[in-house]
Amino acid sequence: MEKSTMHSQASTPVPAHPLDTNLKMNRNVLGMLLFIGSESMFFLLLILAYVNFHNQYGIGEMAAWHLDVAKTGLFSIALFASSFTLWLSEKAHAKNSGMAIFWMTLTIVLGAIFICGQGLEYSDLIRENLTISRDLFGTTFFTLTGFHGFHVIIGLILLSVALWIMVRGKEHEITEAGLTCVSLYWHFVDVVWVAVFSVVYLWRFIK
C-alpha cells in the first residue's frame, strides 16, 4: 500500500519552480514602486521650490496674469478620466474581455488630449513672450510642468506598448504584472498632476 502511494506521488508531475512566476511578478511591481518613489522625490522638490518662490517673490501674480485655469482644467479632466478608463481596461483584461483593448485605446487618446492641450498652452505662453529663460516664473513653471509632461509622454509610450501586445492576441498576451506596472506608473502621473495643478493654477484661489 505504501509502495503504491509512493509510486502515485512520484508519478504526479510537479511544476518546475512554481514560485518563480510570483517572485518575478513581485520583483517587477516592487521595481516600479521604487522607481515611482524616487520620481516622487524629484516632483516634491520641484513643487516645494515653486511654493517657496511663490511666497518670496510673488510669482503667483504672474501666474494669475498668464495662466488660463479654465482651459487647463478642461484638458486636465481628460488626464484624470484616463485613470478611470485604465482601471476599466485592467478589469476587462482580468476577465479576458476584448473591451480591455477599447478602454486601453481610450486611455491613450485621453492622455494624448492632455499633451496636446499642454502643447497649445505652451504655444500661447511663448507668443506672449513667456519662456523658460524670461524670468523666475517662466523657469519654475516650464520646469515643473515640462517635467510632468515628459512623464506623461513616457506613460503614453508604455500604454501603447501594452495595447500593441493586447492587439497581437492571446499568444502574446501581456502579463498581469506588466499591466500592473504600467497602471501604477500612469496613476502616479495623474496623482502628481493633481498636486501640480493645485499648486500652480489654483494656489491663488486657495490662499
Provide the percentage of residues in the chain whose pLDDT is more than 70. Answer: 79
Q: What is the pLDDT of residue 205?
A: 66
**Is 73's pLDDT higher than 70?**
yes
Q: What is the pLDDT of residue 207?
A: 58
Q: What does the pLDDT look like over 173-190, one tens digit per residue?
A: 677 788 999 999 999 999
pTM of the model: 0.82
Residue 42 has, within 13 A of its CA and on its CB side, a CA count of 13
Cα dihedral sign, 51-38-161-189: negative
**What are the chain's domains?**
28-205 (1.20.120.80)
Q: What is the pLDDT of residue 16?
A: 41
Q: What does the pLDDT look like over 110-154, one tens digit per residue?
A: 999 999 999 999 999 999 888 888 778 888 889 999 999 999 999
Rounded to 10 deg, the angle between the 136-167 and 20-57 helix axes is 160
**With bands split at pLDDT 50, 70 and 90, how would you rate the model's confidence at 172?**
low
| Rounded CA separation 149/142 (Å) | 10
**Is 10's pLDDT higher than 70?**
no
Helix (H) or strand (E) holding 3: helix 2-11
